[in-house]
Amino acid sequence: MNSKPPRLSPELLALIGEGFLSRLSFGLISFGLPLYAHHLGMSLTSIGVLFSLNAITSVALKPYFGRLADRFGLKNSLSLSIGARSVLALLIAFSGSAWQLYAIRLLHGMIESLRDPSINALLAERGGEKTVASAFSWYFTARYTASALGKTAAGLLLAWTASNYMFVFLCAFVLSILPLYVVLRYVKQEERHSPRTESVPVPNGVPAAPPGRHKPILAFAGFGFLITSTSTMLNSLFPLLATQYAGLTEAQAGIIFGISTLLMTIAGPVFGWLSDNVSRKLVLLVRSAANTISSLLYLIFPGFAGVAVGKVVDDVGKAAFRPAWGALMARISSVDRSRRAEMMGTMTVGENLGETLGPVLGGFLWGSFGAPVLLITRAVLALGAELYAVFIVDPRVNAMAADVQKPAAVPRIEPPEEED
């Protein structure tokens, strides 16, 4: 068993620093933007549509922009997306109407479609074969911590400046420049990999991709959808679940949030180490198990203790999912490293789609049938994700792992025939 910590090279530290600084900047925007939109007179429905534009655009374009990242270069693509996102932060500061915010969010989704496959592929490349889950865990822990700090800072700045939204967004713009410097200064241009070819006969001797190469990737995307959709069904509804269903006070709900946030920050690196050194499969299944257990705890023990333990279990499951999911994507995309960003972008489409549709399904179930039906449905869907992992994901992981061991096809050159 390898017990060494992940190799924190300057490049890996730079990528983790990029995640922290970028999320710190957009934590300010995430907190301030819905308040600013409401200040401009937008309805709650319009604000909901505004925030869904980013996810919808990202889901639609990720596979294509991932392919572009492979061709243009991972570092170049990441640097371009960070620079473009800084410009968007500046545009938000000077926006003054609903249509401008809609346009900015649409562009933001396009930029994220390029950035996410690039950063995931770089983490897979720089994380190290035996410590890649730890690399993903440190990256997402840094992002999660920075997001909380950014939202806290945004609230304090708005209170201090009497709701001067332009000042908050300009602060976000200044912070967004820092990750661009970090990437340009410390991340090296990656090695270009030749496309992997298989022994598939084609005309004129030009190698072609093996038939059905996208089907396994779509199966992994389906797993990401099942996991994240059940996870996010309660994300925006938890304050209501705690206060209206469980009868807790707002102060008690806030205490639960603080406890779970602290434990989630600690749990991320721990699960990254477990994924690298014990079992990635086991850690990956913690997420769906946590969805089931937390739902049953909320349902059976609707008091402070039950809700607190359920929330901790839920958030610890989130901390477990990120590093194991990143390690799985890294392993699958190693089949063809020349298409790594494209493959990882396709796999995360299901994850993003689940994040978009999960809250919608949760709100519909609660509004139509009540909180108990929502919790039972969430538990059943999480069990379905476990079965999907065992019977669909595992066989494909094993098959693609065997494919990695295959040597690329080498054209056979026949010796010239001897003349009589």
**What residue type is assigned to position 234 of the chain?**
L
- Mean pLDDT on 367-372: 89
- Mean pLDDT on 157-184: 92
**pLDDT at 406 (0 to 100):** 53
User: How does DSSP classify residue 334?
Assistant: T
- Mean pLDDT on 268-282: 85
Compute CA distances 355 → 129, 251, 410, whole Å: 28, 27, 43
**94 inside domain:** yes
CB-based contacts of 369: which residues, under 8 Å, 6+ apart? none
What is the sign of the dihedral through the CA atoms of 130, 17, 348 and 83? negative
Burial level of 325, CB count in 10 A (0-12/13-18/19+)? buried
Domain that holds residue 122: 9-187
Grade residue 216 by pLDDT with cuts at 50, 70 and 90. Answer: low
Compute CA distances 26 → 51, 151, 284, whole Å: 13, 9, 28
**pLDDT at 200 (0 to 100):** 36
Grade residue 182 by pLDDT with cuts at 50, 70 and 90. Answer: very high
Is the pLDDT at 277 greater than 50, yes or no? Answer: yes
**pLDDT at 293 (0 to 100):** 92
Distance CA 102, CA 333 (A): 34
Residue position matching structure tokens 């920075």: 146
**What residue type is assigned to position 34 of the chain?**
P
Q: What SS3 string covers 39-63?
A: HCCCCHHHHHHHHHHHHHHHHHHHH
Q: Do 226 and 159 lie in a common domain?
A: no
Q: Do 243 and 380 lie in a common domain?
A: yes
Q: Do 229 and 177 lie in a common domain?
A: no
Q: Are 91 and 172 in contact (CB under 8 A)?
A: no
CB-based contacts of 229: which residues, under 8 Å, 6+ apart? 353, 354, 355, 357, 358, 361, 381
Q: Do 126 and 34 lie in a common domain?
A: yes
Q: Do 256 and 173 lie in a common domain?
A: no
Grade residue 76 by pLDDT with cuts at 50, 70 and 90. Answer: very high
**415 inside domain:** no
Strands of 142-244 (E only): list them: none
Closest by CA to 386, choosing from 293, 297, 308, 266, is 293
Percent share of the chain, pLDDT over 90: 27
Q: Do 180 and 264 lie in a common domain?
A: no
- Mean pLDDT on 136-152: 88
Lowest mean pLDDT of 89-98, 193-202, 348-357, name the range. 193-202
Structure tokens at 72: 């243009």
**pLDDT at 5 (0 to 100):** 47
Q: Do 251 and 347 lie in a common domain?
A: yes
Q: What's the structural domain count of the chain?
A: 2
Closest by CA to 184, choosing from 112, 77, 86, is 77
- Mean pLDDT on 388-411: 63
**161 inside domain:** yes
Q: Do 133 and 237 lie in a common domain?
A: no
**268 inside domain:** yes
**328 inside domain:** yes
**pLDDT at 175 (0 to 100):** 94
Lowest mean pLDDT of 57-66, 143-152, 166-175, 212-221, name the range. 212-221
- The torsion angles phi and psi of 42, rounded to 5 degrees, stand at -75, 140
Distance CA 179, CA 354 (A): 28
Percent share of the chain, pLDDT over 70: 86
Distance CA 309, CA 314 (A): 8
Q: Cβ of 188: how many Cβ atoms within 10 Å?
A: 11
Is the pLDDT at 79 greater than 90, yes or no? Answer: yes
Longest dimension (CA), the chain: 98
**pLDDT at 207 (0 to 100):** 36
**309 inside domain:** yes
Q: Are 323 and 283 in contact (CB under 8 A)?
A: yes
Is the pLDDT at 59 greater than 60, yes or no? Answer: yes
**pLDDT at 86 (0 to 100):** 94
Q: Do 382 and 252 lie in a common domain?
A: yes
Q: Are 276 and 2 in contact (CB under 8 A)?
A: yes
Grade residue 8 by pLDDT with cuts at 50, 70 and 90. Answer: low
Q: Do 177 and 48 lie in a common domain?
A: yes
**pLDDT at 405 (0 to 100):** 52
Residue position matching structure tokens 């689940």: 354
**410 inside domain:** no
The 10s digit of each residue's pLDDT in 287-332 is 878 889 999 999 999 889 999 999 899 888 888 888 888 888 888 8
Q: Do 387 and 247 lie in a common domain?
A: yes
| Average model confidence (pLDDT) across the chain | 82
* pTM tops 0.95, yes or no: no
State the distance between the two ends of the chain, measured CA to CA, in whole angstroms.
63
Q: Check which CATH number belongs to the domain holding 30 and give it.
A: 1.20.1250.20
**127 inside domain:** yes
Q: Do 171 and 226 lie in a common domain?
A: no
Ranked by mean pLDDT, which of 156-170, 242-256, 347-361 comes out on top? 156-170
Is the pLDDT at 29 greater than 80, yes or no? Answer: yes
Ranked by mean pLDDT, which of 141-150, 292-301, 356-365 comes out on top? 292-301
